[in-house]
Chain A
């Protein structure tokens, strides 16, 4: 009987929240805004990170780049056969790719050369590309571009083609054969895919050269030992494993999310300080109320319970509405303004949809960071007053 939940006490707490309406509405708005900002930033960071993790799964296990004087240089294709000789390596692909700076738009395009424009790959491309003219791709000088590339070219009056400036100053005209679908915008926005020989021509590379080499390894346990073997075989090469990439991602997002968290901690503590200050100097009316309650027979226990309900209801409603608003803001409105923390300032900004990831861990952390502190900041001053004698409080 003693532990039975007292609904009347809850009712009293709700009434008391509404009785001090204007003060509580203010607290509700500020608290909601704070939690909203924090959860929105963490949601954006989580989505982008999960996007990176999904794409990371399908990447080749090892990338080998040749360095000279701290800079990456081209690698001879002849090394591919030697790398294939390593046990455990399933596939070795020499990649030809690079950046093409288009100064009028002020952006870098990622130009990637592929061999696989034969008809057997037609189905694969059909899944990825819209407005597609596959045959022109293998016959004529044509390329596949991301949405952002097409847009920025159009803005500079290149309709359906682009003139690349080669190393020697000549032009190479390439038609746009297709545009990648919007689904892959986050990955394909600045990408130009074209036959390998054209990329070699644009970048002025020899045919027996490639930018870097990727290796696929069947057994993930063997990756570190294979990476070590490559390092011994080619001391001039840098070997990047998938794990290195994932560590890199972790760093980037910890940095960006953490920077925001640091700012948030300052504003949150200011808020709690105001709350604590306000409630530690409980208004005389509130003190009187506690005194009257004590005089009519409430125990300290009852008063603290009532104060706890009050603080919990207020903070929980704020928290819940903040999360609901944050989900709406991030995933329905695509986080205008806040998203810019995570993306560059360049003109080729993709208008991507953030992939939806609801991470309960993040929500739980936000909950624990905010609500207990708020409850403590309101209960402790009430306890101080409640532990005094009733007549002393009322006097």
Chain B
């Protein structure tokens, strides 16, 4: 009896899994427009972070842009960078708390 219950449970999981796979596979249709967009603008990388230049197109940024170009990051040579806070957006230091 319990084995039956367990089997039904596993079977339900399997059905759920197959449903997920089939549904997601059918949703995966907009690759073409992405390719079209990238071939148009020809820039690599994804827009998942925009806080600094070298992060957005990091595969194109050069070694020292970390220290030179960034508007929100202050250069601080040996330990790469410290975060600056935006004077307009928020009146607190972003993310990294500075210990007093």
Q: Confirm or deny: A104 has a beta carbon within 8 angstroms of a beta carbon on chain B.
A: yes
Number of interface residues of A (CB under 8 A): 86
Q: How far is the CB of A83 from chain B (nearest CB, A)?
A: 15
Q: How far is the CB of B47 from chain A (nearest CB, A)?
A: 4
Query: Which listed residue (B17, B30, B45, B59) contacts A320, Cβ 8 A?
Result: B17
Interface contact A252-B58, CB-CB below 8 Å: yes
Contacts of B95 on A, CB cut-off 8 Å?
345
Interface contact A124-B36, CB-CB below 8 Å: yes
Q: Give CA–CA (A146, B42) in the complex, Å.
A: 15
Please encode chain A, from 108 to 124, with 1 for each CB lying within 8 Å of some chain B CB and 0 for all others: 11101010100000001
Which segment of A57-65, A135-143, A161-169, A222-230 sits at the interface? A57-65
Q: Give CA–CA (A184, B21) in the complex, Å.
A: 22
Q: Give CA–CA (A285, B43) in the complex, Å.
A: 66
Query: Which listed residue (A101, A183, A342) contacts B30, Cβ 8 A?
Result: A183
Q: How far is the CB of A210 from chain B (nearest CB, A)?
A: 12
Q: How far is the CB of A73 from chain B (nearest CB, A)?
A: 10
Q: Confirm or deny: A321 has a beta carbon within 8 angstroms of a beta carbon on chain B.
A: yes
Interface contact B46-A331, CB-CB below 8 Å: no
Contacts of B53 on A, CB cut-off 8 Å?
99, 108
Closest to A216 in B: B42
Please encode chain B, from 1 to 37, with 1 for each CB lying within 8 Å of some chain A CB and 0 for all others: 0110010011001101100110011011011011111
Closest to B52 in A: A108
Given contacts A15-B2, A55-B44, A104-B89, contact A248 B59 (CB under 8 A): yes
Kindly identify, within residues 45 to 76 of chain A, every residue whose CB is under 8 Å from any CB belonging to chain B: 48, 51-52, 54-60, 63, 65, 67, 70-72
Q: Confirm or deny: B74 has a beta carbon within 8 angstroms of a beta carbon on chain A.
A: no
Q: Give CA–CA (A317, B46) in the complex, Å.
A: 36
Q: Confirm or deny: A343 has a beta carbon within 8 angstroms of a beta carbon on chain B.
A: yes
Interface contact A180-B17, CB-CB below 8 Å: no
Interface centre among A101, A116, A146 (most CB of B within 10 A): A101
Residues of B within 8 A of A (CB): 2-3, 6, 9-10, 13-14, 16-17, 20-21, 24-25, 27-28, 30-31, 33-53, 55-65, 68-69, 71-72, 86-89, 94-95
Given contacts A191-B41, A238-B62, A248-B59, 19 further A-B contacts (CB under 8 A): A10-B3, A14-B6, A55-B44, A65-B62, A99-B56, A107-B50, A108-B51, A108-B53, A112-B43, A183-B34, A186-B47, A187-B34, A214-B42, A252-B58, A317-B13, A344-B49, A352-B48, A355-B28, A356-B25
Counting from the closest, the 8 A-B pairs by CB-CB distance are A344-B49, A183-B30, A356-B24, A343-B48, A189-B47, A346-B51, A106-B86, A248-B59
Residues of A within 8 A of B (CB): 10-11, 14-15, 18, 48, 51-52, 54-60, 63, 65, 67, 70-72, 93, 95, 97, 99, 101, 103-110, 112, 114, 116, 124, 127-128, 146, 148, 180-181, 183-191, 193, 212, 214, 238, 240, 244-245, 248-249, 252, 313, 317, 320-321, 323-324, 327-328, 331-332, 342-350, 352, 355-356, 358
